[in-house]
Structure 1
Amino acid sequence: MRRAFADIRPLRESADYRRLWIGTSAQGFGRQVASVTVLYQVWELTGSPLWVGVVGLVHAVPMVVMTLVGGVLADLTDRKRLVVWTTAIAWVTSLGLVAQAFLDVGSLALLLGVLAVQTTATSLGAPARRTLIPRLLPPARVGAGIALMHLSFQASMLAGPAVAGVAIAEGGLATAYLVEAVAFVVSLYGVARLPSMRPERAPDTSVTGLRLVREGIGFVARTKVVAGAFWTDLSATVLAMPMALFPAINEDRFGGDPRTLGLFVSSVAVGGLVAGLLSGWVVRQRRLGTMQLWAAGVWCVALAGVGLAGSLPLLLALLAVAGAADTVSVVSRASLLQLATPDAVRGRVSSVEQVVGVAGPEVGNFRAGVMGSALSPAMAMTGGGLLALAGVVAVAATNRPLRDFRTPTGPDTADGGPVSP
């Protein structure tokens, strides 16, 4: 039973990892507060689920492009310095969100523009940030370090939306956005004192950036285990991501109270937090591919049930199940990728992981907004869950290397090199 709980040894053994964890946790909390605040502000400005879905598209487009660029930069430059500068730029944009809310500008175009700039900055630094853990921890602790990061993310999802609902109701939009601005300051502290981290073996600088991007994508495409993990995640997120439907469902069933809207996202985090606390069991599993497939399937079924739920307690319970499944899926995928990817391409593969893990849900939110406008929000929720389940089943049926993938001795004793199924 003790081995089932989250392994906190990375926090005890590495001061650099501990600072990174604190800063990343603060940034995640602030962004959760801001995400709910943006959804609420766009809904108040437009009253349209389609425009709420456009928020996902505004995140996704710069994220896809700039994350790939960031992956190349992470394999060419000092990763710590890249994270510091991009975090600083994101902090400045968070102050812009505070200003437009405080001045009550009421401009949808300005709001979306600031969001696009912020997403550009965080996307440039995201691949480099993902590569820091394998450099700060020994291979035997990498899985635990990833799980602890995801645990803090789930805690942020639990607390952030609830804080956002209260902040909006009691202090207004500017107060809610100010939380994110303060969180970015803590995030800067978390990375500023890290040592310099240049790639162990940088690519040939005479090769063009576009070719370097193609090399990273090529590694993903020809490594069936890696590609299968990504396709599983894309199926589950693009086809079933529910966030854009939350304001409309909240309006239809619960009168549009911002506190209830916060509970929707917090319920996802409750399940994720419980699963994160038990992540020791996840990171010690050998069949990580099979675990990811099952977890993704549970996520899809739970979200399909949300559209059919007739009461608030049942709806929140299903969202909690979805959150738990999402945590297991993400930790399984991230651990698998670290074991299957050498450091020489880790930045570029991490950029693909960032696109899949973050842009995928944003595209899914846009898809949800379109479906919610064409159908009822409930039908869009259930239909998306069923479509996603079909996609996950298709990956499981056609990608045997992912189903059969095993770590030779388990993440606790892995040597950190690439692993073949």
Structure 2
Amino acid sequence: MQPSGRVMNLRQVFVSVLMFGVAGLFLFMYLQAWIEEHHTASGEKLQQQIINQDSKLQLPEDLAMAPKNCTAANLSKRQTSVINSRHSREKARPLIEVASSLVRQLSEQQKMTKSFLNQLKQVNLPPAVRPLNKSLIIDGRWKTTDEAQEKRRSFLYDFCKKYNRENRLRTHLLHMVSRIYVEDRHKILYCEVPKAGCSNWKRILMVLNGLASSAYSISHDAVHYGKHLKKLDSYDLKGIQTRLNTYTKTIFVRDPMERLVSAFRDKFEHPNSYYHPVFGKAIIKKYRLNAQEEALKTGSGVKFKEFIQYLLDSHRPVGMDIHWDQISKLCYPCFINYDFIGKFETLEEDANYFLQLIGAPAQLKFPNFKDRHSSDERTTMEVVRQYLKELSRTDTQLTYDFYYLDYLMFNYTTPVV
């Protein structure tokens, strides 16, 4: 090869490497700016939306609500990022002409991505509330209970129909059904809401499934740690879809503030080998000034005010827990069209009516005993008010706001603060 040819090849290689580097630099700058603006549309959520689309389940848009305010720290971080980005662009200005074609291609790709996302968002509500099969109801004693049930179902459906336009689907199907227990004999799906009668409901499911002869003979540990019941996410996609479409789906809910206080009393006011070392230690360490060494070591003695500080903190030292997470995030009532909505406030009446509807054995009645700490006073609104006295007016309002969707969905009255 002639020297001139070698020089020409070296020049071509150099130019190619330079162009590749410039393109990579500009691509990085572009993606950095794009990610700043569209950080919520992550690749993982897009993949989850695609999976949901492939499942052919017609689901409504999500009811997860965006935070109302940004913190000063977040604003400062974003401003810093913008400044750095502008500084990088100034340095790269001579190279803009070289990479302009790449920008145009990326812009077109961005438009295509937005178009595809918009297509994925065109999801529909489940079919209108289907009639309950009441052929097994043999007497008129359930008239009042039935009327209340129909009002709850219609109210929830209307709520979801009204609010789904403003929200987006962001959750994987398997996650949405991960709290749902399956009883195949009587074709029941029960979504577990902790502190709303869930322990006794799981006892009932075990009896219906032939795993026990009486709900009263099943211990607390057998209910929660025995793994005798299957969850809906353990089935394949076809099995999940079939059961969602054909089984009777039920959910039992409770006034959000009552449920919260009940969870706090259960997990933090009694010895607990999990919640004290995992949650208690982290809460005391972050929110208690001059905490004593013993409290930091054991995590015992968390105060309700400290617990609320943890709950409202966007940077919690430890994650959420199902005992105080929102029902809207546990059971997804606007995605899964529940056939029966029971309330803790009328638990026995609603539960026994439901057992009649699904053809349970006549002798099977919903148990009325307290699962644990039976000597404690039940958590009522009067008890709740005593705990709220520890909070400032602002924290009380923020706590209500945290459960705002649950209050709306199930037509609970939000107390005036």
| TM-score, normalised relative to structure 1 | 0.22
Higher relative contact order (CA 8 A, sep 6+): 1
Look at both structures and tell me which one has the larger radius of gyration over its CA atoms.
2
| TM-score, normalised relative to structure 2 | 0.22
- Structure with more helix by fraction: 1
- Structure with more strand by fraction: 2
